[in-house]
Amino acid sequence: MVKNRLLIAVAVCFVSVTVMPQDDFYAPALKSLVTVNPAAAGAEGDGFLRMIYIMRYPERNLNLHYLSVSYDTYIPLLHGGISGFVSDNYQGGIINYISGGVSYSYHLQAGRDLYINAGLSAVFRHRGINASGIIMPDQIDPMRGPVLPSGETINERGRTVFDVGTGFMIMSGNYTAGISVNHLAKPDMAGLNASEDQLPWHLTIFAMTIFNLSQRSGLGLQPVLLFDLYGKDITAEAGAMLGTEKAAVSSLLSFISNGDINLQSGFTFKIFRGLFFYNYCFNLTSANGMLPFTMYHMAGLTVSLNNVDKRKVIKTIKFPNL
């Protein structure tokens, strides 16, 4: 039980965000793993409500916000877990990406200490456009700024599409690994049948383990590796969390194929039946030198809403809060 409680604390600190390049419908990889890998649904056994808020590039005042709410639990009658989530990626009052979906994960014991989860997700994705916030080149007066009427008509009609995803997880002892592919349907977000408007497959691979450093205090170290491929964009991340079930600190280093390197640091602590976490990410080096120092602030809360009889769950794990 101590190991399981520590792993949930880790799951709050190890939240990673692919800042750039970015899938506008993509959630933080490990903290909202149930929205990325459907095989994670119910993997922690108990029912957990997770809430995440992210403010991107705060120094630039670009009004970029991300909000996600998800819930998952194990259902013994279904021999697996279910989850549901809603997320909103608000981009400066001009474009808004909203997602909502459900997933199911079948939990299988394949050996004495080998467990495999396989999951599927069904998601609706919506992109809304506020044309009144868009300034076209022909609206700009050299002396007075953007005051002229535009000669172009902008289609501000939103579009909603259906998407699917799949994922697998394998667990043995203290080791866990997973792979997922999202946007299997390659939905067309513009409805113009143009390849550049289709969402490419989004591949995510992660691996993690935990080392129990002290049985008395419950102190543990959990290293995590993550690989992310979205179209031609690649992100590789490595980090670790150190702490107990009551408090922990973490750090995560991100390498992006365009040359950007970011470092995220954070902490988490227990509040009654929940865990509060905060992460701060800053840019170490930028390929074009245009990124601000502060990449994002992230805060969130994980709350246990219901307990599941662990005798009916074949294997439970806890995800890090990176």
Summarize pLDDT for 116-125 with one digit per residue, the tens: 999 999 999 9
**Does residue 46 form part of some domain?**
yes
**pLDDT at residue 68 tops 60:** yes
Find the CATH number of the domain harbouring 40. 2.40.160.40
Give how far Cα 251 sits from Cα of 237, 271, 282, Å: 10, 21, 12
By mean pLDDT, which of 173-177, 191-195, 208-212 is the weakest?
191-195
Segments forming the whole domain that contains residue 247:
2-126+152-312
Q: Encode 239-260: b = buried (16+ Cβ within 10 Å), e = exposed.
A: bbbbbbbeebebbbebebeeeb
What average pLDDT does the segment 282-308 reach?
A: 88
Identity at 218, one-letter amino acid code: G
**Does residue 41 form part of some domain?**
yes
Q: Any residues with CB less than 8 A from the CB of 192 and at least 6 apart, and which?
A: none
Binning pLDDT at 50, 70 and 90, where does residue 25 land? low
**Does residue 319 form part of some domain?**
no
Please count the structural domains in the chain: 1
Q: What is the per-residue pLDDT across 213-240, written as a single tens digit (0 to 9) for each?
A: 988 888 999 999 999 999 889 999 999 9
Identity at 310, one-letter amino acid code: K
**E strands along the chain, which residues?**
47-56, 64-75, 80-91, 95-111, 114-129, 140-141, 145-146, 159-172, 175-182, 202-208, 211-214, 219-230, 233-243, 247-256, 261-271, 274-285, 294-306
**Does residue 278 form part of some domain?**
yes
Give how far Cα 161 sits from Cα of 48, 182, 209, 291, Å: 28, 14, 37, 32
44 within 8 A of 317, measured Cβ to Cβ: yes
Q: Encode 16-35: b = buried (16+ Cβ within 10 Å), e = exposed.
A: bbbbbbebebbbbbbbbbbb
Rounded percentage of the chain residues whose pLDDT exceeds 90: 54
Binning pLDDT at 50, 70 and 90, where does residue 102 land? very high
**pLDDT at residue 156 tops 80:** no
What region does 7 belong to: left with phi over 0, alpha with psi -120 to 50, or beta? alpha
**Does residue 321 form part of some domain?**
no
**pLDDT at residue 6 tops 60:** no
**pLDDT at residue 30 tops 70:** no
Q: Which two tokens stand for residue 236?
A: 């590789």
Binning pLDDT at 50, 70 and 90, where does residue 40 land? very high
**Does residue 132 form part of some domain?**
no
What average pLDDT does the segment 60-88 reach?
A: 92
pLDDT (0 to 100) of residue 134: 57
Kind and range of the H or E run holding 12: helix 2-13
Binning pLDDT at 50, 70 and 90, where does residue 4 land? very low
**Does residue 56 form part of some domain?**
yes
Query: Residue written as tokens 């979906």?
Result: 101
pLDDT (0 to 100) of residue 248: 94
Kind and range of the H or E run holding 11: helix 2-13
pLDDT (0 to 100) of residue 37: 94
Q: Any residues with CB less than 8 A from the CB of 92 and at least 6 apart, and which?
A: 62, 63, 64, 133
203 within 8 A of 179, measured Cβ to Cβ: yes
**Does residue 96 form part of some domain?**
yes
Which residues are registered as beta bridge partners of 259? none
**Mean per-residue pLDDT over the chain, rounded:** 83
Which residues are registered as beta bridge partners of 238? 225, 253
**pLDDT at residue 18 tops 70:** no
CA distance linking residue 261 with residue 285, whole number of Å: 5
By mean pLDDT, which of 62-66, 221-225, 293-297, 312-316 is the weakest?
312-316
